[in-house]
Structure 1
Amino acid sequence: MAALQLEKQRGRYAALAIAAVVIVVGIPLWWKTTQTYRAWLPFSEISELATLRLQLSVDIEVVFSRGTLTPEQQKKVPLSHVNEKEHEVDGKTGLRYKFETKYRTATIMEEDALNQPSAAEADLSLHMLTESACGSVVVYVIPESSTLLPQVSSKDVNVYVGQRRTALLRSTPIRSSWTLKEVLSSLDPQVEQIVNTMSFSHQDIIAALSDRVRLAKVTKESMADSMRAIKSSPGYEITFSLLNPDPKSHNVYWNIKGAVDSYIQPLLNKLAPIANFSVDSQILYYAVLGVNPRFDNSVSSYTLSADSLSHVINPVETRLGSNAASSNPVLNFLLYVPDSHHSPLFIRDRNKREVPTNAFHSPRWGGIMVYNVNDTYGPEAQLPVDININMAKVMGVFLAQLRLMLGVQHTHPPPGFMLQSPGSAGLADWELDRLLWSRSVENIATASTTITSLAQLLDQIGNIVINDNIAQQVSSAVTSLQSAVAELEAGNLAFALQYSREAILASERAFFNPSLLHLLYFPDDQKFAIYIPLFLPMCVPIVLSLLKIVNETRRMRAEKQAKND
């Protein structure tokens, strides 16, 4: 009897030991080894990105040349003035503009530069004296009698904007009795117009925030420019294609390398801070537009209407080849030489008028130019005829289309303004600044939206793996975003663009990381469906033994209590 009791007691201890090992060691170990790994993310800092408050600071320098101020007024300079404006875009996005204006008189060397025969020469001389910081604006106030600003169409030019970051402003008549404050008040409206022309406008920044806000307050011009421009990207692929549908009649030559070096590369060199560019070219034979042009008897030529242009791209795009090796957006520029049976070929707009450039562009895709060659040889010429393309004519059109698609918006200056052509550089310094402002804000808006969306996704779906690499990219993106916002507030445009590019790269690497999908389609019910058949046969004897021990313990306590009673 004693041996039987000892054996039962030993069985109870064994069952309790096994249950203790399973509960204390087994279950925590199983829970730990099967849980989804989720590295730490700065969710509190990410939540702050949902409410984006940007402050854009512009340094403005107003320089008074000789003859624009009285001796009494000159004694009060130099001085500075800060003007702040705040615009509430919506409940989660706000803008504040800070214009810090410094006033001073011109130096002796600047006076010599302003004595040049023309405004363009004065602009170059001023640039050689000192180079203005990226994003800044320098306004030189010249006397009303100065001959630097010419007349255009019998109208006086009051403001001349050069290729750099300087502008010449004709002084308004100033009374000797005016104080310096009254003089500056009379100049403020014109200086503000210059800043809106050379730096950025409210509409430009709102359009750049299109990923975060509804574009209800944007003008039609800003909306059109925003739709034409391709979205911000770390790099772009630019492809120039020559389409020769009739090589038996035309043997076409084009010096594309020399043309790119002369017309396109200077523009790309100036845009190097924004993105990386790669340029290639190709010649496609027997490539047709896919749309049959109509013959117009009134002008004895073939025409393509504006309604048919949308059907041109798809047939041609199949011949352009793929850029699978790169994930960067592709900008296509096509030069089409019509075959002899459909030549000459002209493009007409919606008003049935011929397009002067004989070209059209598709927003965010590229442009196509039709190049007629039938007038370069006679009807009895021996085929195939050698044709040399006038690359200056072609590249002038492609350069204008490239500027539009890269976001260099067309500037509509106020009356009395004269804008100098950017020349061979393809882009003025102040135009580059306008693009940098827009791209910096666009990058910040896109990256903040991406990171916020990723954080919401990871918070809602608990079984997505967050490895250390993703956590590092998210933290890097948040840090870069904070730095970009701080640099914008400080007026350091170049650094703001750099940090914004780093933010958008890190945010996209994190958002599109393939490891996020490893356990996305392995929910908890499938996990239990796998482990229950494995653990249930082992757990049933343990549970039954524990129940038996509990019942025996209750019975023994009841018998002991009955004896005591």
Structure 2
Amino acid sequence: MAAPGAAATDLEVVRGKRAALFFAAVVIVLGLPLWWKTTETYRAPLPYSQISGLNSLQLRLMVPVTVVFTQESVPLDDQEKLPFTVVHEREIPLKYKLKIKCRFQKAYRRAMDHEEEALSLGSIQEAETMFAEPSEQAEGSLTVYVISEHSSLLPQPHFRGEPSSTQPGVQAAFDPQMPLASLTPVFIGYEITFSLLNPDPKSHDVHWDIEGAVRRYVQPFLNALRAVGNFSVDSQILYYAVLGVNPRFDPASSSYYLAAHSLPHVINPVESRLGSSAASLYPVLNFLLYVPELAHSPLYIQDKDGAPVATNAFHSPRWGGIMVYNVDPKAYNGSELPVRVKVDMVRVMEVFLAQLRLLFGIAQPQLPPKCLFSGPKSEGIMSWELDRLLWARSVENLATATTTLTSLAQLLGKISNIVIKDDVASEVYRAVAAVQKAAEELASGHLASAFVASQEAVTSSERAFFDPSLLHLLYFPDDQKFAIYIPLFLPMAVPILLSLFKIFLETRKSWKKPEKID
């Protein structure tokens, strides 16, 4: 029979073992999972499979084309075949689909009855109004009128007394053959600054009606482009601002000139005086009107062949343009200095609008034989030019959004300790849905809605990619986490581990001890 002291000792040992096992169970079952869950990097789920599928997304552009025939432009044998619709599809390398609808002009007889009135219009816009359908033409659609070349209804080109949509002779500041780099295809704001540079105010008292010129010429053009971005326009006058490049004197013409190779060196010294780029959060387009000082007048710009540029201006992609405005030499006859100079804003705005069109990638295409484009409107941009710009911007936006989402998915897949918050995940989901919607709208021929969706795709993808929360734990890897928590948990873990080890040894010893047989 065991002694009472030995029984009490055995009971204490059993209680100690149970307490050690209880603490170990609490730490392993509850403590470690709770610690791991509360210290893990939160990563909201992302549509990785859909993002990877964007790389194989085939863009398809559908362009509705309406071909309108007059009766005399189609042979009698073929008139019975109208109207009809044909679909032409091609891939070069972007797949596009032309849905061509051919029909007779319903108002042809009415136009013939008023043929003399149509001739008196003398405007292609008014002639198109006579031939047009009552319904308004949708974005992205084209209408081609087929008129016999012998018909008196054929409209003639008409030029208004407003700034033309294109201006020949605008010299590029760099290689004239290089493709024009477009602006950032994101729906953001653009700041347009018109600056008058008067380096010699003692000789020239320059006045320009920039407010009236912007209101009459620039603002209608920007209103037509309001779908591309938001624009703000300001102006300034800078005195004693020189170009920074000494012009060369030409004895043959008694004038000064700037060679084409020196034009890139003109921009940097002038840009430091503008100050608009440092104060603006948006891309800035600078348009400078430079009145040469009296010592370097007249001043002309030469192209790469040494010939004078007709507009006496040059532009730089993504930056803006500069025009040199020479003072009429007759103004100095019998006049005291400073000479009052009144700038011809029509001539200046023709150049600046042409440069603005080039900066947005709106170039005049080559005319096919016997084809006549609709004339420029007062906005300085035609509807088909705006459609082509929206097509290009939509494709660029989709490419940018796809690249951004793919890069973000690869980055988050490689670095596991980057936090992915719910708002970042929602932006990613929104961007993926917008890309898919834009592709569907382009394939359906809905250009306006496709462009809006592509803008949303770019905006959401870049918001997710540049979200500052992604960098919160980027420099806190797992090894640093263990280095911080081990000194805290080790003093508590050592007694528990030693107790478990002692229990294991005693249990193992009791298993090996032979039982006594009475």
TM-score (norm 2): 0.89
Cα deviation 1:381-437 (Å, max 9, x = unaligned): 322222111111111000000001012123112233333441422001111111111
| Counterpart position of 1:398 | 352
Match of 2:10 in 1: 5
State the secondary structure of the residue aligned to 1:319. helix
What is the distance in 2 between the residues matched to 1:61 and 1:452?
A: 39
**Which residue number in structure 1 is paired with residue 102 of structure 2?**
103
Q: 2:50 aligns with which of 38, 45, 49?
A: 45
Which deviations, in whole Å up to 9, do the C-alpha atoms of 1:470-515 show, x marking residues without a partner? 1111111111111100000000111111111111111111111111
1:371 counterpart letter in structure 2 = Y
Specify the alignment match of 2:29 in structure 1.
Answer: 24
Query: Partner of 2:59: helix, strand, or coil?
Result: strand
Determine helix, strand or coil for the equivalent of 2:138: coil
| Offset of residue 106 of structure 1 | 1.3
The residue number in structure 2 matching 1:181 is none
Task: Check 1:77–1:126 CA distance in 2 against 1; reply closer, same or farther (3 A cut).
Answer: closer
Instruction: Kindly state the Cα deviation for residue 162 of structure 1 after the two structures are TM-superposed.
Output: 12
**118-127 or 291-300, which deviates more:** 118-127
Instruction: Check conservation: 2:277, 2:283, Cα contact below 8 A.
Output: no
**Residues 276-295 of structure 1 correspond to what in structure 2 (within 5 A)?**
276-295=230-249
Worse overlay, 252-261 or 229-238 = 229-238
Letter in 2 for 1:399: L
Unaligned runs of 5+ in 2: 1-5, 161-174
Aligned runs of 1:181-220 on 2, under 5 Å? none
Q: Say whether the 8 Å CA contact 1:123–1:162 is kept in structure 2.
A: no
- Tell me which of 400, 411, 422 is aligned to 1:446: 400
Which residue in the other structure is 2:145 paired with? 140
Contact 2:203 2:293 in 1 (8 A): yes
Deviation at 1:149, TM superposition (A): 3.8
1:158-190 Cα offsets, whole Å, 9 max, x none, are: xx8999xxxxxxxxxxxxxxxxxxxxxxxxxxx
Match in the other structure for 2:91 = 86
Deviation at 1:110, TM superposition (A): 7.5
2:306 pairs, out of 334, 348, 352, with 352
- Deviation of the 1:322 alpha carbon: 3.9
| Amino acid corresponding to residue 353 of structure 2 in structure 1 | L
Matching residue of 1:186: none
Counterpart among 411, 436, 447 of residue 365 in structure 2? 411
Matched, 1:471 2:425: yes
Superposed displacement of residue 336, structure 1: 1.0
How far apart, in 2, do the equivalents of 1:278 and 1:306 lie?
A: 31
Deviation at 1:528, TM superposition (A): 1.4
* Structure (1 or 2) with the larger CA radius of gyration: 2
The SS at the match of 1:368 is strand
Matched position secondary structure for 2:82: coil
| Deviation by residue 1:122-164 (Cα, 9 ceiling, x = unmatched) | 123335844211111122222342134479xxxxxxxx8999x
Aligned mate of 1:456, from 410, 415, 421: 410
Amino acid across the alignment from 1:101: I
Compared CA separation, residues 291 and 54, structure 1 to 2 (3 A): same
Give me the whole-angstrom Cα distance separating, in 2, the residues matched to 1:514 and 1:338. Answer: 48
| Larger displacement relative to structure 2 (1-10 or 512-521) | 1-10
Matched, 1:233 2:233: no
1:429 is the counterpart of 2:428: no
User: How far apart are residue 72 of structure 1 and its match?
Assistant: 5.1
Q: Within 1, Cα distance between the matches of 2:37 and 2:78?
A: 78
Specify the SS of the correspondent of 2:332. Answer: coil
Mapped partners of 2:256, 2:380: distance in 1:
33
CA apart distance, 1:261: 1.2
Residue aligning to 2:59 = 54
Alignment partners' CA distance in 2, 1:547 and 1:297: 103
CA contact (8 A) 1:481 1:499 kept: yes
- Find the counterpart in structure 2 of residue 123 from structure 1: 128
Q: 2: CA distance between counterparts of 1:309 and 1:129?
A: 51
Look up the equivalent residue of 2:393 and give its one-letter code. Answer: R
In the aligned structure 2, how far is the partner of 1:536 from the partner of 1:363? 64
Task: For 1:436 and 1:103, locate their aligned partners in 2 and report how far apart those are by CA, in whole Å.
Answer: 25
In structure 2, what residue type is equivalent to 1:82?
A: V
Query: Are 2:454 and 1:500 equivalent residues in the alignment?
Result: yes
60-69 or 6-15, larger mean C-alpha shift: 60-69
Question: For each residue in 1:291-340, what CA deviation from the matched residue of structure 2 results, as whole angstroms up to 9, or x when unmatched?
Answer: 11122222211211111111111111111114456532111111111111
SS of alignment partner, residue 82 of structure 1? strand
Write the deviation string for residues 102-125 of structure 1: whole angstroms up to 9, x where unpaired: 122111368528942146131233
Q: Is the 8 A contact 2:127 2:155 kept in 1?
A: no
1:268 aligns with 2:227: no
Residue 376 of structure 1 and its aligned partner are, at CA, apart by 4.9
For residues 203-223 of structure 1, give each alpha carbon's deviation from its aligned partner in whole angstroms, at most 9, with x where no partner exists. xxxxxxxxxxxxxxxxx99x8
Counterpart CA distance in 2 for 1:418 and 1:256 is 34
- Higher alpha-carbon deviation: 365-374 or 392-401: 365-374
- The CA deviation at 1:367 is 0.5
- Encode CA deviations 1:435-487: one digit per residue, 9 max, x unaligned: 11111111111111111111111111111111111111111111111110000
Q: Identity across aligned pairs (percent)? A: 57
> Is contact 2:62-2:96 (8 Å) kept?
yes
SS of the aligned residue for 1:21 comes to helix
Q: 1:396 to 1:478 in 2, by over 3 A?
A: same
Q: SS at the partner of 1:84?
A: strand
- SS in structure 2 of the partner of residue 520 of structure 1: coil
Residues 1:366 and 2:365 are matched in the alignment: no
* Aligned pairs, number: 492
Among 76, 81, 96, which residue is 2:81 paired with? 76
Question: How far apart are residue 280 of structure 1 and its match?
Answer: 1.1
How much is the aligned-residue C-alpha RMSD, in angstroms?
2.4
- For normalisation by structure 1, the TM-score amounts to 0.82
Counterpart amino acid of residue 436 in structure 2: Q
Aligned CA distance change for structure 1 residues 531 and 119 (closer, same or farther; 3 Å): same
Aligned to 1:173: none
Q: Indicate conservation of the 8 Å contact 2:147/2:154, yes or no.
A: no
Deviation at 1:258, TM superposition (A): 0.8
Match of 1:233, SS?
Answer: coil
Amino acid at match of 1:510: A
Is 2:496 the partner of 1:539? no
Partners of 1:394 and 1:128 in 2: how far apart? Answer: 38
